[in-house]
Amino acid sequence: MDLRRLLIPGLACLALLGSACGAGPTPTRSGDAGPSGTVGPLGADQSLPADAITEQLAGPWRRSPIVLDERLVAIISDACAAAARAKLGETEANLPTAVVDARGEHLALAILADDLDAILCLARLDVTGTSAAVDAVDRLSMTAAAPVDGTDISVASVFQDHDPELRRTYAFGRIGPAAESAKVGFEDASVVLASDAEEWWAMWWLGHDRASSFSAVDTADLVVGSARAFDGEREARVGPGTWWLDPAAPRPTAASKRVRALIESPMCASGRSPEGRIEPPEFELSDAAVTISFEIRWPSGPKDCQGVPPFPITIDLPEPLGTRALFDGSETPPRDASKPPAG
C-alpha cells in the first residue's frame, strides 16, 4: 500500500500566526538586576559538584541558567518522555532532548524536538535531585517554532502561570546557528540569560513582568539579532482539532481537490473561535483513504470552558480525492470524517 505523510503549509484557507522581527535594542550587558524575584549569579557555572547543582536546583530563582550534568538531563528527559508516551504517543516519547532550562525552585523546562515534531515539558525535581515529576507535556506548533537562520532569534511562546501562588512567566523560541546565546531584557535594564542548545532557547522568570527585548548575542555579549517585543502572551502549544465534512456543503466528488468542513477543539478557549490558530493540515495518503490531521494553538491568557460552535474551514487536498474515503486523524484509529463525532 502506498502511504505518504505530507505536511503542506498553506493548503488550508486558514489564518496563521506570523512572526515579526524588529531592530534590536542598544547592546546590553548581563550585569544588571533581574526582574522581580531573587537575583542569582551573573554567569552560568561551568563545573560544579553534583551536591552543589542539587542545592541550586532547590534554591531560589536565578537569572542565569544552572548547568546540568548528564545525569540530571537524563532524569528530566526520561520523565518527560514517559509523560509524553502516556499523553501524546510514541512519536513524541521518542523525540531527542533539545534544551533543558533549570534555574531554581525545583523547576525544569525541557523541549524535546526533531525536524518534524516538538513538545514542551514542565517538570519538578525532588529535593534529592534523583527523580522528576512532570506537571505538563504538550505538543508545539512547528509553524510558530520554525528554525531561523544566521544570527536570527524568534519568540515561539511567552505564557504565564496564572496561579496566584506561582506567578511565573515561561518563554522559548529558536536561535540561529551563528549566534552564541540568547537573552531577554526588561524595562528596568535587567537581563535574564537563556538556556540554549540545538538552535532552541528557553527560560522562565518570576512574576509577569513584560519583556522589552529578545536578543541573540555573540561571544562578546553584543546583540547580533533581535525579535520584536510584544504585549501579552503568545502561545505555541497545540491540541488536536476534530473535523468533519460540512453537511450544508456539496459532497466531494472523485475530482474534488477542495472540501468544505467544520472543525472544533476540545481545549478551553473562553468562547473564542479557533480562527487564526489553526495549524496547516497534515495529510496521510493511501490507495483507500485520505487522512487529514489538524492541530489548533492554545488561546493565550486565562481561559474558561465556554462552548464554541464548530468553525467552517476549506481544505485544499494535495491531489484529487478519487474514490478514497476521508478520515479525521485526531483520533486513533482515524475517524470517518463524513459525519460529526459522536456526542
Residues 182 and 251 reside in one and the same domain = no
Cα angle 317-115-203, degrees, rounded to a multiple of 5: 120
Instruction: Yes or no: say if 207 and 187 are a contact pair by the CB < 8 Å rule.
Output: no
Same domain, 218 and 257: no
Considering the entire predicted model, what is its pTM? 0.85
Domain count, the chain: 2
pLDDT, tens digit, for every residue of 51-65? Answer: 899 999 999 999 999
Number of continuous H segments (helices) and E segments (strands) in the chain: 3, 20
My answer on whether 56 and 123 are in the same domain is yes
If you average pLDDT over each of 24-28, 37-41, 294-298, which comes out highest?
294-298
End of a domain among 208, 227, 246?
Answer: 227
Q: Verify that 119 and 83 share a domain, yes or no.
A: yes
**Do 117 and 204 reside in the same domain of the chain?**
yes
268 band by pLDDT with thresholds 50, 70 and 90: confident
Reply yes or no on whether the pLDDT at 105 is more than 80. yes
Tell me the C-alpha distance between 302 and 268, whole Å: 10
**Residue pLDDT, tens place only, 153-164:** 999 999 999 888
Is 23 within the bounds of a domain? no
For residues 116 and 176, membership in a common domain is answered with yes
Domain boundaries, position 243: 4-15+236-336
Is residue 83 domain-shared with residue 208, that is, in the same domain? yes
Name residues whose C-beta falls within 8 Å of residue 273's C-beta, 6 or more positions apart in sequence.
308, 309, 311
**Contact of 178 with 215, CB cutoff 8 Å:** no
Specify whether 204 is located in the same domain as 262. no
